[in-house]
């Protein structure tokens, strides 16, 4: 198995030559999950002027050193309707959170520390100079670069872009991912299931990954184990101008594993076929069209076993989608350190990605316990797992408490 690629080597090949897709402009409300294609600069200063952070009274701190001397209430400043005058000595203005601080004021006396006596206001304790004032530009100033190209846009980023006064954003086009399931044994959920058939499930997980990673899924349905039918489906993906073709099943070495020959007949340039990993050894990678860059369709032929397909989707498909979407960190290793909660046996020549449960110690240290059942057909175990325990090739046996690495099933995967 020494000629099989490692996971790291395989991922490097999958991402080699990938160029982010073209950009487009979308309204802000349609930009969630998209990747910013240009640096974003603030079009204004936020806040635009000194603002009150509390309800109370705007005043000059020097006027309330003697708490027995009241101040004259001369007006009001509310959010969107500030006090137009200049605050003179011995004067105060009623002010509310988010309202502009009047000219001449340098401090906010919170209302809990104020005693109202008609049009007179007296402080019950002296406020600190400058207290409770948000200075102009506290958040950002006009012209500042606050979001960089390659940033994926979530709720906080969209709020910031809106505050920067951007109604539209330049983003990278979403990769179109065609998903093709193959196998005479497969039927769609809800259809009659024959004695030799199973319900197709892989395509639903892969489509969910595509959407979570920022792509658009195109389901090509289930194709029978016939070379002509598989070739026609590959042609449909090309006609749709898919950026990625994901095939499910038919990637091994059996008599009915027809996907690789069909792809090669269509002109696929094979990148690799097998990886030294478990689950997921038979994984096809290649390109249809130009060798690299825009205009080529990347191909990932995932194994038919559900867990194998899903694990390979996590390790290879999600980074590929993110790279096409313009994420400069698409290929980064997202694994993290943990400790074993139970002993594990020595590993063989393939890296093992074991489905596992995860708990946290009081100090926050993650503790991982792999499930006793690791069969790659068992979706129940996968759905109950919180992470993958990564066992390197030829790893020695390890005891509970030993260090290890895990890859979490993040929310949205």
Checking if the pLDDT of 255 tops 50, the result is no
Give the up-direction half-sphere exposure of residue 288: CA atoms within 13 A in the CB hemisphere.
25
Mean pLDDT of the chain: 93
What pLDDT sits at residue 411? 47
- Return the CATH number of the domain spanning residue range 7-22+173-324: 3.40.980.10
pTM of the predicted protein model = 0.88
φ and ψ of 334, to 5 deg: -100, 10
pLDDT at position 45 over 50? yes
Give CATH 2.170.190.11 domain extents, the chain.
51-134
- Rounded to whole angstroms, the Cα distance separating 398 from 405 reads 12
Cβ proximity of 274 and 282 under 8 Å: yes
Least confident residue range of 106-120, 187-201, 246-260: 246-260
d(CA 381, CA 385) in angstroms, rounded, equals 6
- Phi, psi values for residue 173, rounded to 5°: -60, 145
For a pLDDT cut of 90, what percent of the chain falls above it? Answer: 86
> Under CATH, domain 24-44+143-172 is a member of which superfamily?
Molybdopterin biosynthesis moea protein, domain 2 (3.90.105.10)
CB-CB contact of 247 with 301 (8 Å):
yes
Q: What is the mean pLDDT of residues 225-233?
A: 92
Residue 387 and residue 410: Cα distance in Å, rounded? Answer: 8
- The boundaries of every CATH 3.40.980.10 domain in the chain are 7-22+173-324
Q: Quote the pLDDT of residue 410.
A: 73
What average pLDDT does range 68-91 have in this prediction?
96
Please give the torsion angle defined by the CA atoms of residues 162, 168, 172 and 176, in that order, rounded to the nearest 10 degrees: 110
pLDDT on residue 348: 92
SS (H, E, C) 328-370: CCCCCCCCEEEEECCCECCCCCCEEEEEEEEEECCCCCEEEEE
Q: Report the pLDDT averaged over residues 37-43.
A: 98
Other Cβ atoms closer than 10 A to 29:
10
Closest CA relative to residue 181, chosen from 291, 91, 306, 44: 306
Domain with CATH 2.40.340.10 in the chain: 336-408
CATH of 51-134, one of 3.30.590.10, 2.170.190.11, 3.30.365.10, 3.30.70.1150: 2.170.190.11
pLDDT, tens digit (0-9, with 9 covering 90-100), for 288-311: 986 555 678 999 999 989 999 999
pLDDT at 412 over 50: no
Could you say which of 3.30.1370.10, 2.40.50.100, 3.30.1050.10, 2.40.340.10 is the CATH number of the domain covering 336-408? 2.40.340.10
pLDDT computed for residue 292 by the predictor: 54
Q: Residues with Cβ < 8 Å from 9, sequence gap 6 or more?
A: none
CA dihedral (343, 349, 351, 353) positive or negative: negative
pLDDT value of residue 380: 94
Q: Which tokens belong to 137?
A: 């530009």
Give the confidence band of 1 by pLDDT, cuts at 50, 70, 90.
Answer: low
Burial of residue 87, with CB atoms counted within 10 A of its CB: 0-12 exposed, 13-18 middle, 19 or more buried: buried
CA–CA dist 259, 227 (Å, integer): 8
Given a cut of 80, whether residue 250 has pLDDT beyond it is no
- pLDDT value, residue 82: 96
Q: Is the peptide bond before 368 cis (omega within 30 degrees of 0)?
A: no
Q: Is 30 exposed, middle or buried (0-12, 13-18, 19+ CB in 10 A)?
A: exposed
Strand arrangement of the beta sheet that strand 107-110 belongs to: 107-110, 56-59, 91-95, 71-77, 120-123, 114-117
| Two structure tokens written together for 358 | 């995860």
What is the full DSSP assignment across 116-172?
EETTEEEESSPPPTTTTEE-TTSSB-TT-EEE-TT-B--HHHHHHHHHTT-SEEEEE
For 52-62, what is each residue's pLDDT tens digit?
999 999 999 99
- CATH 3.90.105.10 positions along the chain are 24-44+143-172
The confidence score (pLDDT) of residue 281 equals 84
Can you tell me the mean pLDDT for 199-214? 94
pLDDT band at 28 (very low <50, low <70, confident <90, very high): very high
Q: Take residue 215 and report the two structure tokens written for it.
A: 């792509």
Backbone angles phi, psi at 221, to 5 degrees: 80, -165
Whole-number pLDDT of residue 296: 86
């Amino acid at each position: 198995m020494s000629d099989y690629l490692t996971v790291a080597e395989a991922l490097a090949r999958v991402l080699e030559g990938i160029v982010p897709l073209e950009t487009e402009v979308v309204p802000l409300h349609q930009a969630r999950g998209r990747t910013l294609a240009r640096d974003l600069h603030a079009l204004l200063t936020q806040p635009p002027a000194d603002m009150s952070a509390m309800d109370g009274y705007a005043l000059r701190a020097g006027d309330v050193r003697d708490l027995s001397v009241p101040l004259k209430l001369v007006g009001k400043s509310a959010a969107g309707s500030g006090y137009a005058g200049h605050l003179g000595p011995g004067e105060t203005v009623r002010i509310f959170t988010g309202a502009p601080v009047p000219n001449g004021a340098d401090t906010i006396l919170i209302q809990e520390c104020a005693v109202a006596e008609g049009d007179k206001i007296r402080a019950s304790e002296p406020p600190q100079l400058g207290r409770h004032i948000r200075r102009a530009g506290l958040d950002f100033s006009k012209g500042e670069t606050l979001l960089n190209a390659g940033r994926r846009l979530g709720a906080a980023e969209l709020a910031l872009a809106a505050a920067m006064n951007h109604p539209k954003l330049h983003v990278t086009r979403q990769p179109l991912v065609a998903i093709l399931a193959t196998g005479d044994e497969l039927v769609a959920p809800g259809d009659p299931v024959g004695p030799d058939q199973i319900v197709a499930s892989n395509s639903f997980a892969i489509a969910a990954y595509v959407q979570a990673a920022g792509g658009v899924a195109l389901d090509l349905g289930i194709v029978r184990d016939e070379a002509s039918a598989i070739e026609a489906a590959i042609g449909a993906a090309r006609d749709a101008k898919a950026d990625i073709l994901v095939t499910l099943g038919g990637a091994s070495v059996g008599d009915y594993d027809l996907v690789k020959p069909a792809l090669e007949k269509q002109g696929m340039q094979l990148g690799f076929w097998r990886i030294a990993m478990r689950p997921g050894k038979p994984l096809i990678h290649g390109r249809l069209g130009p060798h690299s860059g825009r205009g080529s369709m990347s191909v990932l032929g995932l194994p038919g076993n559900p867990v194998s397909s899903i694990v390979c989707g996590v390790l290879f498909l999600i980074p590929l989608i993110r790279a096409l979407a313009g994420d400069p960190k698409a290929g980064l290793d997202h694994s993290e350190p943990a400790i074993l909660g139970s002993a594990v046996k020595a590993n063989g020549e393939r890296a093992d990605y074991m489905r596992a449960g995860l708990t946290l110690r009081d100090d926050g240290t993650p503790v991982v316990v792999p499930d006793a059942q690791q069969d790659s057909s068992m979706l129940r175990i996968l759905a109950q797992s919180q992470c993958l325990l990564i066992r390197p090739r030829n790893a020695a046996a390890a005891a509970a408490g030993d260090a290890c690495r895990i890859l979490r099933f993040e929310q949205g995967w």
